[in-house]
Structure 1
Amino acid sequence: MSLIATLARLEAVSTGRARPTATVRHRHLSERPLVFVPLTTAGEAGAPLGALVGTDRDAPRLLVVAQPRDRDLRFAFLAELADIVLPYIDSYADAVEAAERSETDPETGKRVKVEVELCSDAPQLIVPSRAGVEYVRLLGRSMRFRRTAEQDPQTPYPAPPRVPLLGRWLTHFGERSRVPGSSLLLALTEVLGRHWATGQSSLEDQHLGALLAWIAPPGGDSGAEAALHAELARDDKGQLLCPPAGPATDPAFDNKLLAPAIERYDRARTALAAAEDGLQADDRLGELTAAERVIHELVLSRTLPTWEKVWQGLDLLRELPEGAHVEERWTRDRWSFTGHRDRVVAGEPPQPRRDDAVTAANKLATREREQGRLDAQEALDDPLVMAGRRLAGEAFAGEVVDVVMTYSEGKRPSPRPLVTVRTDDRPHLGERVRVFRSLGGKPQAAEFVRRAGPDGAGGADGPEDEGLLVLRIVDKMGRGKEPEEGSVPEKGDRVCFTLFEHEQRGGAKLPDPEDTPWTHGGPPGEPVPETADSVTEEDTL
């Protein structure tokens, strides 16, 4: 946790309200996100009980599994979920634009630019909390390996046709959510926690009601009082007034309301199956319908408060202006969405349960690179985030007090101006350490030369002033003998330099999967021990 975040939490405790830790919004928000509020049963990992899902704030779709242990009812729930989610995804798959992408020419081995299709926009899935993201990944894993009757007529318990496809998409959303800065799948508590600091722990921030209570406490309550009420307040039946954001339910709800309702449903279903004539069947069908309606009302009572709070949180986030680099990161999400769309259309198999060594290494390298890029871009977009980097000695800002034009040695001297900056920051600078500033959206590099004296000279021949830094600009000044206009700071300018790079460098090229050595799954030519469609107990809900 940065010093700025620590100070913000202390201020939140002191003032009773959450304090902002960002001045802009660092995540993309779609104009039409799909909000998914899942609910699961206790005791069986991933067994769905119900969900509220949809893009219309005022008209959510309620999905319910009256008996979560019934495989047929679970498949019906997943099929209905697919009928909602897949059309939403498909609505973004057809609208495309022309874009250029670098690819390796198989004949020459050189990188060339080719024109390809890029989806103009991409779908966005919003869940209440971090646990919701893990549940999406679990659903994807349990669904993408399912066999349909068309694929395998002999398979026991065939899945509805669209269920495996939904599993592949949910797996992609879940995998993409692990890439720092991605916005295809967002946990609302994570996004709100990035932009506001509360007076409670990050674990307590996973309770959406408590988090919103700190950010916008109702009435004249303090954040702590409102959060405590959101966490503990119960009605006269002993049920929480603000249910947890799921997917787990409250034990009091399970024991006092849900279990008796499901038991009543089971009795009614058993009685209907044992009916001896049509009149008796009609009466017992009415009892079954009434029991099922009670379960629907119970699920709605647990999910609707969370549904409303998700949209309340989105309203708070939309009040913040979007950061300058957010659109760039969303473009990478669009590339990811387009790539998976193409793999599905091409008929490629579902994602394997375990990645091979090369794929896993590439994923890790990508996430590390994106984390570095995200940290740099958030600081460049947001002065409050940059202030944290300055306090940590990773950046400094100040006023240019002197500019001396010098040139490099050689046959063709290039401009290497010396810029003296007065700053109150204390950056961790060493000899010839490179620093960077943003110039027209591109990083301009400079080298730290020395600390100047009070008169700007200093160095080895005079006393040094900790607040005067002499830097040598080394690039982004054009190809001429004289620097291009605006490429060199002028006396009196306010500048900000960072010790971290603004763009992340790529790592070494990894071998192709078929050339992986035996230490990492080879030797080449051996059959893969596990096919993509294999099903294990862990894949079964």
Structure 2
Amino acid sequence: MSVDTYLRLRAVALGRALPRATRRHVHLDPAAEPLVVVGYHMPGDLGAPIGLMYGTHRNGPRTAVVGEPRNGKLRFQQLADFAMDLNGYFGRYIQPVLPRPARRTGSARRLPPAPQLIVPNAATAQWLCDVMGRRLRTLDTEGEYAVHPALPSIGAHLSFFASQRVPGSSLVLPLTDLLSQHWATGQLDALDAALAVQVAWIDNPAGIEDAEGAGSAGPVPDGDWEKTHLSDAIKAYQRLSDSGSNITRASEPMKIAVEAALQPAWEACWDAVQLLDGLPDADSVEDRWEMDRYQWHRHAERVRANKAYFSRRPQQLQGMRLLTRLERLTANLTRDMALDDPLVMANYIASGDALSGEITRRDAAGDRPSLSLRPDMPFRRPVGTELHWFAEPVRSPDGVTRPMVTVEVISADEKNVELRVVRGAVRKDRRRLLPQIGERVIFSQFGRREFRRDTLPAELPWTHVGVEGTSR
């Protein structure tokens, strides 16, 4: 049985969520005032927002609503305040970028801060960043159908965040995904999509039933709310508009309805942030957050130079590069989480992908060093399997490094595993790095991070080559 299955079964038995991780694997600093956004769009029309609640403080949310979401012109007119507020928020982080620290010098990180978007779930992130970003950035600020200049600007920023929704990034944080990553509930994965229910499983098991009756956290509103409150608010807008009321006055019924509907999701977001903030940072989080900051300030430079361009449809080679990047980032995140967090590593030990135990023999005198280990669990990987172990960090003039020792399995049974060193401590002057007798160690499949350059293969696939063999 895997550790994850065990945790789910125990959560069902206990009636509360259990930790999947002992450390937080994303960057989160409430004191830095990340921006929380919850919202609804018209069912079946992702480009028609109904209302948004947003802000950097729990007790001070702002609300933007569209009195008649089906009216495109009115939609952009009423989103102008939201766009200006977001431009003001992002503007705090647009500043001259400092040189990127070299990874091998051990120099202090000097990159300026970057903004963060926190949303209830991945669906809201996709709608807000991908859909709304693409729609807003292509609007025209001149001519008969001119819109407020803040709308295309905020569209460019949101499109940037859409491009950074990759494994390991902390620029956009969908809370249901993060809670699932750090806690196991006793319900199906599909039910974990309800943020308020997840929070109740973790922090208030007695309130699970009440949380199940809460409305949708967005971006699609609850069906009952759509039939009653949304329909009534649209009718009220039309009635007040026909009677000569201005847009703000006519949209008041919609604002009241949207605020009441989104308030539970808003509160659940801040409850989730508080839960995540209670976990200590994993060691590798700062390195990934440094890269996030670097990406943001590259985007800020393009914005200042009026060169923040985005492709409407990725070309074949762009898609290929993206897939390569996603594979690399996924592998690095999986590695970092396992090495940073003993509870995550326990999954790999239980499945036989990692080997834990006590060193019972250490032979550093022969031509090739070898080790014997008493395993905590049966290890059934074949002879010749290579595993990695990281020794204690070593300080040098070039910074802090953590030597890695690679071994291969010579033989294995339930009581003893024989290992031969193949890299990292083969030379006699490095054999001091080997673990001592009686030391508890974990050998795993995870080695160094991948830092491959984003280059094309020697031969392009046929899908990315033109008729005469030239790239398209």
TM-score, normalised via structure 2 length? 0.89
Alignment of 1:3 onto 2:2? yes
Alignment of 1:227 onto 2:186? no
Between the aligned partners of 1:469 and 1:377, the Cα distance in structure 2 is: 26
Query: What amino acid is aligned across from residue 24 of structure 1 in structure 2?
Result: R
SS in 2 for 1:99: coil
Alignment of 1:145 onto 2:138? yes
In the alignment, which of 271, 296, 309 is matched to residue 312 of structure 1?
A: 271
Query: What amino acid is aligned across from residue 349 of structure 2 in structure 1?
Result: R
How does 1:274-423 map onto structure 2 within 5 Å?
291-348=250-307, 350-408=309-367, 416-423=368-375
Alignment of 1:472 onto 2:420? yes
In the alignment, which of 443, 447, 464 is matched to residue 520 of structure 1?
A: 464
- Cross-structure match for 1:26: 25
Deviation at 1:483, TM superposition (A): 2.7
**8 A Cα contact 1:10 1:199, kept in partner:** yes
Q: 1:99–1:478: structure 2 CA closer, same or farther, 3 Å change rule?
A: farther
- Cross-structure match for 1:412: none
Between the aligned partners of 1:132 and 1:59, the Cα distance in structure 2 is: 21
**8 A Cα contact 1:148 1:160, kept in partner:** yes
- Cross-structure match for 1:238: none
Q: 1:338–1:428: structure 2 CA closer, same or farther, 3 Å change rule?
A: farther
Deviations 1:79-106 (A, max 9, x none): 222211122222122164332469xxxx
- Cross-structure match for 1:130: 122
**8 A Cα contact 2:125 2:172, kept in partner:** yes
Query: What amino acid is aligned across from residue 370 of structure 2 in structure 1?
Result: L
- Cross-structure match for 1:106: none
- Cross-structure match for 1:249: 221
**8 A Cα contact 2:2 2:350, kept in partner:** yes
Runs of 4+ in 1 over 4 A off after TM superposition: 288-291, 515-519, 521-528
SS in 1 for 2:262: helix
- Cross-structure match for 1:445: 405
- Cross-structure match for 2:434: 488
Query: What amino acid is aligned across from residue 520 of structure 1 in structure 2?
Result: H
Query: What amino acid is aligned across from residue 489 of structure 1 in structure 2?
Result: P
Q: 1:67–1:344: structure 2 CA closer, same or farther, 3 Å change rule?
A: same
Deviates more, 1:117-126 or 1:325-334: 117-126
SS in 1 for 2:387: strand
- Cross-structure match for 1:60: 61
Between the aligned partners of 1:527 and 1:450, the Cα distance in structure 2 is: 47
Query: What amino acid is aligned across from residue 490 of structure 1 in structure 2?
Result: Q
SS in 1 for 2:92: helix
Query: What amino acid is aligned across from residue 69 of structure 1 in structure 2?
Result: R
Alignment of 1:180 onto 2:171? no
SS in 2 for 1:194: helix
Deviation at 1:293, TM superposition (A): 2.0
Deviations 1:252-288 (A, max 9, x none): 222222212211221221232xxxxxxxxxxx56xx7
Deviates more, 1:301-310 or 1:468-477: 468-477
Between the aligned partners of 2:270 and 2:196, the Cα distance in structure 1 is: 12
Between the aligned partners of 2:464 and 2:411, the Cα distance in structure 1 is: 50
- Cross-structure match for 2:187: 200
Q: 1:213–1:449: structure 2 CA closer, same or farther, 3 Å change rule?
A: closer
Q: 1:429–1:511: structure 2 CA closer, same or farther, 3 Å change rule?
A: closer
- Cross-structure match for 1:504: 450
**8 A Cα contact 1:39 1:247, kept in partner:** yes
SS in 1 for 2:388: strand
- Cross-structure match for 2:71: 70
Between the aligned partners of 1:449 and 1:34, the Cα distance in structure 2 is: 49
Between the aligned partners of 2:448 and 2:15, the Cα distance in structure 1 is: 36
Deviation at 1:209, TM superposition (A): 1.2
- Cross-structure match for 1:538: none
Deviations 1:432-471 (A, max 9, x none): 322101222636232325237xxxxxxxxxxxx5332222
Deviations 1:277-327 (A, max 9, x none): xxxxxxx56xx7654322211111011221111111111111111111111
Please tell me the root mean square deviation across aligned C-alpha atoms, in Å.
2.9
Between the aligned partners of 2:96 and 2:222, the Cα distance in structure 1 is: 43
Between the aligned partners of 2:324 and 2:212, the Cα distance in structure 1 is: 39
SS in 1 for 2:430: coil
Query: What amino acid is aligned across from residue 379 of structure 1 in structure 2?
Result: A
Q: 1:295–1:125: structure 2 CA closer, same or farther, 3 Å change rule?
A: same
**8 A Cα contact 1:40 1:49, kept in partner:** yes
Between the aligned partners of 2:79 and 2:167, the Cα distance in structure 1 is: 29
How does 1:12-23 map onto structure 2 within 5 Å?
12-23=11-22
Deviations 1:460-514 (A, max 9, x none): xxxxx533222223333496x43364x11111111110023342363783179xx
SS in 1 for 2:265: helix
**8 A Cα contact 1:118 1:338, kept in partner:** no
In the alignment, which of 418, 435, 451 is matched to residue 387 of structure 2?
A: 435
In the alignment, which of 152, 157, 162 is matched to residue 169 of structure 1?
A: 157
Deviation at 1:521, TM superposition (A): 6.2
Deviates more, 1:305-314 or 1:516-525: 516-525
Q: 1:20–1:100: structure 2 CA closer, same or farther, 3 Å change rule?
A: closer
- Cross-structure match for 2:398: none
How many correspondences in the alignment?
A: 458
Higher CA-based Rg: 1
Q: 1:354–1:313: structure 2 CA closer, same or farther, 3 Å change rule?
A: same
Q: Give the % identical residues.
A: 35
Q: 1:245–1:205: structure 2 CA closer, same or farther, 3 Å change rule?
A: same
- Cross-structure match for 1:271: 243
- Cross-structure match for 1:190: 177
Deviations 1:385-428 (A, max 9, x none): 111000111101111111112454xxxxxxx3211111122334
